[in-house]
A and B are shown apart, each in its own frame.
Chain A
Amino acid sequence: NAGVTQTPKFQVLKTGQSMTLQCAQDMNHEYMSWYRQDPGMGLRLIHYSVGAGITDQGEVPNGYNVSRSTTEDFPLRLLSAAPSQTSVYFCASSRQGGLDGYTFGSGTRLTVV
């Protein structure tokens, strides 16, 4: 049982480049979320999904896009990378959203130069 799998683990981008952070879960969870973690800031919600085909914005959505074509996958797209997007990104999934615990991936450490 793999849980939540994030790829890649590390990435360096140049300013202006685009890329997709991958997230997949094998627990048949309906709820999935993307967070970014910055020093001293805790985790901030970027986008979330309550099921295939349904997404919504979180606290810090600017510069990011998401889609949810299947229950398993929830990719996060950086449209035009900026140094302010240097962060650690976590994907998480849950069966009942905030009504039970979330399972987190191991994270993607992104540096934008």
Chain B
Amino acid sequence: SQQGEEDPQALSIQEGENATMNCSYKTSINNLQWYRQNSGRGLVHLILIRSNEREKHSGRLRVTLDTSKKSSSLLITASRAADTASYFCAATGNSGYSTLTFGKGTMLLVSP
């Protein structure tokens, strides 16, 4: 299993602050992905970082990957109340690319 484990489980910040979430995984990966889930909704794909990449940006999102430590981080800059959601990392293993294995998520609360 390539299960990702997010840290922290919950994070509470004020609007305008940065939010950082971490993800650790167990074995070698092809890529690692981050998803957002608003309460009561499906997951939305945010960003994918491949194993040969170290950093990737998309708007206010910055993802880093450290394959030597088997970890990734998601940084959301200048957070907004609309960023309140659960965030999940998901890994694709190096053998068999059919599925993703998800972690348990970080619940982010951004207060106005």
Contact = CB atoms under 8 A, between A and B. Distances in A.
Contacts, number: 64
A40 B97 CA distance: 26
B43 interface: yes
Given A98-B31, A101-B33, A42 B102 contact: yes
Interface string A40-61: 1111110010100000101100
Nearest to A56: B98
Per DSSP, are chain B's interface residues mostly helix, strand or loop, or mixed?
strand
Contacts of B42: 4, 90, 104-107
B41 A107 contact: yes
Nearest to A6: B42
B44 A99 contact: no
B34 to A, nearest CB: 10
A31 B100 CA distance: 11
Interface residues of A, number: 29
A98 B44 contact: no
A102 B100 contact: yes
A98 B97 CA distance: 5
A97 B97 contact: yes
Given A40-B104, A99-B30, A90 B43 contact: yes
Contacts of A98: 30-31, 92-93, 97-100
* The 4 residue pairs across chains A and B that have the minimum distance between CB atoms: A98-B92, A101-B45, A104-B42, A42-B104
